[in-house]
Structure 1
Amino acid sequence: MSTTDTAPPDPAATSISAERFTPIQRIAIAVLLTANFTLAVDFSILNVALPHIGAELEFTTSALQWIVTSFALCAAGFTLFFGRVADLFGRKRLFMIGITLLGISSLAGGLATEPGLLIAARVGQGIATAMVTPAALSLMTTMFPEGPARSKALGLNGALMAAGFTAGAVLGGLLTGTVSWRWAFFLNVVVTVAVIVVAPFVLREPARGPRPRLDVPGAITITLALVALVVGIDTAGHAGWSHPGSWGPILAALLLFVVFFAIEGRVEEPLVAPGLLTRRNICWGNIAGLLAFGTFTSLVFLLTLYLQQILGYSAITAGLVLGVLGLGTVIGGLIAPRIIGRTSARTSVVAGLLVQAAATAPLAFAGDGRDWLIPVLILTFVGGIANLVAIVGYVVASTAGVPAAQQGLATGIVTMSQQVGIALGTPVMSAIATGVVATTLLPGLQLAIGVNAAIAVGAAAVLAIFLRLPAATAPEDTESAAGQAQVTA
């Protein structure tokens, strides 16, 4: 048959094939999603169990915070470094190393008999998170070209990671109340063994070109800056923002950030190419992610206090109530790719934050009667959907137009914005809820929830003005965008 006799490709069929995963891709995505969901659960699974851990291992009350803080410090502090390491030495290799470290450190945590070993295990889990999360995300973005399939994969990832944060609180309460907090560690071991068995056969990554040198001064400086920032923020949540232990590390972090950018402008092969951060989709996209994660994870914290200390529900009941929010995030992650495909990543970010704010604002008027339970369920469900639409939109925007050789770095920045947002949001909202209104807790919670909604509105307004996608990723019309795999959704 001559070429003139060949029928033109059917746009609808092209769209369907672009959205579908091959059998190997389905297994690979399942492996990566399982790993990221497990790591998201680890952020919150021990929160409810802290008093039980303290009593069994003889932690002092002041030292209990380090069970959470040591994890967050390493997860946020090393993520940008390992995102670049993934580009230089291989994403699949780093993913496997990180998963192995997660299994070993989780086993050590489950068997811990004294505080030092448990803290060391949490440090290991944090470092494993900093390895695995950007490596897994960059494997997703390089496995699929920009388009419907990538948006679908990122939507599933966003849904499960956000749901994991909520599920961690529920699962932690159930395990602590029924068997033992140690199973919060042992479950990780089971997951990591399964991932280690399957991952080598299904994960693929493009061949790497010439390997540049690692910017060691830049890596050390940015890691110290992020660690100092998280230390300052975490201290503020416990000791207040006026405490020297709060503003001292934050000032040190700001100084280190200045030094970092000075280093990056001088070295031949910088850790973060200055041109990457000047791209509006990367800069403003990650600001969107930080605020989206910061507002909604802190809202979970505020609602946990409201449900238990104001309405008088048990920890397990409160966790189950928040499970409705988790269901909303799963649905949001599933529908986000379609919304992005019909509009754009920028529109999904702005609209998602606006709907999130609209669902959050009425909660600022929540009273002390249990008749507020149904409105809480409905509003948090809607807010969860909207938040995930914004989150998936920001991940798509922040990785659009980035060369494959820099996807590890780009996804490392994405992961960093998530983790810094989680670390930042709760202490800020906690300080507002407990420090601004000194009479009773309810007025403080109402004020903090109102501020939370206002931040979401302000973020949407700023991002509507400044967030811009690369020209190649902005679809000229919805129909053509849906029919081409190389056009981002």
Structure 2
Amino acid sequence: MTSGPTGTQAGKIVLPLALGQFIASFAATNMNVAISTIAGDIGTTVIGIQTTITLFALVMASLMIPGSKLTDIWGRKTCFVAGLAVYGTGALLASLAQGLGLMIVGYSLLEGLGSALMIPPIYILITVTFADLDVRAKYFGVVSGAGGLGAAAGPLIGGLVTTSISWRAAFLLQVVVVAWIVVLARRISDPPRTGARPSFDVPGAVLSALGLFFVVFGILQTGTYGWLASRKDFSVAGVVLIPAGGLSPVWLFIGIGVVVLAGFLFHIRAREKAGGDPLVPIRLFGNRTSNLGLVTQHIQWLVLQGSFFVISVFLQQVRGFNAIETGLLLLPATIGILLSSGTAERLARKHSQRRLIRAGFVLTLAGMALLLAFGSEDSGVLAYAPGLFLLGAGVGIMLTASVNLVQSSWPEQDQGEISGISRSVSNLGSSVGTALAGSVLVGAAHPGGAPFALALATLGFIALLGLVVAVLIPRADAAGPRPG
């Protein structure tokens, strides 16, 4: 494999990939600023829309590993374009929704499935096209930055479109952008895969998807039942299984998910020993550097999406901001992500990925501390800007470094599987972040004041754990010969 195309040719390959990542991340946050508007328009509740948003990220996380395996069977470019087609169909249906049912089908299911198909090829194509680590870091920076920018710009663009036209127009805008990406994708050159095509591990795909689903579904239920003692009766078919005051059924769902995931690991080990093609090789879970990098990816997206959800709900329900005002106030985070992602190549030449991940967590923690210190119910709008900027800058630095660390830990033949695991872990973080933050806010009668501070402080504590994990990344293996 050569160092890869340069200049205009590289741009033709990277542009549609970056736009694909942008639109998937945009979809995860643009609804946050229009939660109340959408809920009122289609006759549901804020909890209903929160569930829809969380299910979107959950479907992506659940199906990302099977989606990545299909890139080895169907081809990377084919999966990318197919994912765009499914995603665009979902966005169109969501724009026509008159009730929660069609919104879930279009937004949560089809857009989530489309994202699971199109996102793994993005990172695989960058890895196999650009062999030089510095050049790869540059384009990982472009793609990861596009993802972070989409997440950060989602509230602003969604707010502008919702306020000036309607929330339905925001979905139609996604349809137009997806159609444009499909046209641009014709320029993508997909390097041929060496070796025979693997078979698709259907039982493994089912087990991995169900396990991830139950874990995050359980976390989502914390908004209804709480974490420890159940706030209300838990019933199935009219039969009370857990009365109010008993152990929260959250742990029942999480326990089912853990058992199913354990069964998934047992299945792929047995399939591998039998000489079959497992959904993912068991060896991909044996690299310490890669594993720690995956944990940092999970935490980054958890903190980013969770913080954006908390702040968006706080601004709309406590401060009374409309969609566009909420989006504009979050603009400093967008700027922070954009600036830090744009320096990815330069930073990668001077510092190890390990050092960049640690620095990113430090900046993120500083930003969250400033938000807790100055972001009260009676603060001026400028009081939020420093904290949001540092939060965005810190996440922007980490997104690129963590992806580069994980993907570069494996040879080309493993890129399909590790990309799926990487993207699944990241999107699982997005889903858990929204569910975790929402469980604190939705469970409170008044989402401002103490509940807001508690939700943000919880996310800050998780970010601190992320910093600890980053410190544990081995110095010698931190993706590059630079000092760590």
**TM-score, normalized by length of structure 2?**
0.88
Structure 1 position 311, deviation (Å): 4.2
Segment of structure 1 superposing worse, 262-271 or 244-253: 244-253
Query: 2:168, 2:440 → 1: CA distance?
Result: 33
Task: After the TM superposition, list the runs of 4 or more consecutive aligned residues in structure 1 that deviate by more than 6 angstroms.
Answer: 17-20, 437-440
* Residue 74 to residue 462, structure 1, CA distance change in 2 (3 Å): closer
- Give 1 or 2 for the bigger CA radius of gyration: 1
Kindly tell me: are residues 70 and 303 of structure 1, through their superposed partners in 2, closer, same or farther at Cα, counting changes over 3 Å? closer
1:475 and 2:461 equivalent?
no
1:476–1:194 CA distance, 2 compared to 1 (3 A): closer
Match of 1:37 in 2: 22
| Whole-Å separation in 2 of the counterparts to 1:26 and 1:344 | 25
Shift of 1:443: 2.2
* Counterpart for residue 449 of structure 1: 456
Once residues 200 and 375 of structure 2 are traced to their aligned partners in structure 1, the CA distance between those partners, rounded to angstroms, is 55
8 Å Cα contact 1:57/1:114 also seen in 2: yes
Is residue 2:266 matched to residue 1:262? Answer: yes
Q: Is the 8 A contact 1:233 1:423 kept in 2?
A: no
Residue type of the alignment partner of 2:413: A
CA contact (8 A) 2:351 2:482 kept: no
- Cα distance between partner residues in 2 of 1:97 and 1:440: 40
| 8 Å Cα contact 1:19-1:148 kept in structure 2 | no
Instruction: Confirm whether residue 321 of structure 1 aligns to residue 301 of structure 2.
Output: no
Gaps of 5+ in 2: 231-247
In the alignment, the residues of structure 2 paired with residue 287 and residue 175 of structure 1 have an alpha-carbon distance, to the nearest angstrom, of 35
State which drifts further: 254-263 or 157-166. 157-166
Using the TM superposition, give the Cα deviation of residue 101 of structure 1 relative to its aligned residue in structure 2, in angstroms.
1.2
| CA-atom RMSD in angstroms | 2.6
Corresponding residue for residue 95 of structure 2:
110
From 32, 55, 76, the counterpart of 1:91: 76
- List aligned pairs for 1:270-289, cutoff 5 A: 270-289=278-297
- Tell me the equivalent position of 1:413: 421
CA distance in 1, matches of 2:326, 2:60: 27
The match for 2:361 is 353
Residue 366 of structure 1 deviates from its aligned partner by: 2.7
C-alpha separation in 2, matches of 1:285 and 1:85: 24
Deviation track 1:310-356 (CA, whole Å, cap 9, x = no partner) reads 54433321210101111111111111332222111111111111121
Q: Which residue of 2 aligns with 1:383?
A: 391
Deviation of the 1:245 alpha carbon: 4.8
CA contact (8 A) 1:25 1:202 kept: no
2:37 corresponds to which residue? 52
Report the CA distance shift for 1:318/1:192 in structure 2 as closer, same or farther (over 3 A): closer
Structure 1 residues 230-264: Cα deviation after superposition (integer angstroms, max 9, x where no partner): 21122223442244552222111110111111112
Give 2:106's match in structure 1, choosing from 103, 121, 140.
121
Structure 1 unaligned residues grouped into runs of 5+: 1-16, 479-489
Counterpart of 1:169?
155
- 2:185 is matched with 199
- Kept in 2: contact 1:36–1:161 (CA 8 A): yes
Q: Is the 8 A contact 2:310 2:437 kept in 1?
A: yes
Alignment partners' CA distance in 2, 1:317 and 1:147 = 41
Q: How do 1:456-467 residues align onto structure 2 when only pairs under 5 Å count?
A: 456-467=463-474
Is 1:303 matched up with 2:289?
Answer: no
**Selected match of 1:77 from 45, 62, 70:** 62
Distance 1:163 1:296 in 2: 11
**Which residue in the other structure is 1:137 paired with?**
123
User: How far does residue 397 in structure 1 lie from its aligned partner after superposition?
Assistant: 0.6
Assess if the C-alpha contact under 8 Å between 1:74 and 1:126 holds in 2: yes
Whether the 8 Å contact between 2:59 and 2:112 is mirrored in structure 1 is yes
Q: Give the Cα separation in 2 of the matches to 1:298 and 1:196.
A: 31
Paired residues, number: 460
- 1:381 Cα deviation from its structure 2 partner: 0.7
**Counterpart code for 1:262:** F
Q: Compare 280-289 and 232-241 and name the one that shifted more.
A: 232-241
Task: Give the TM-score normalised by structure 1.
Answer: 0.87
Identity %: 27
Q: Secondary structure at the match of 1:45?
A: helix
Q: Which residue pairs with 1:184 in the alignment? A: 170
Residue 301 of structure 1 and its aligned partner are, at CA, apart by: 2.1
Assess, with a 3 A threshold, how the Cα gap between structure 1 residues 440 and 318 changes in structure 2: closer, same or farther.
closer
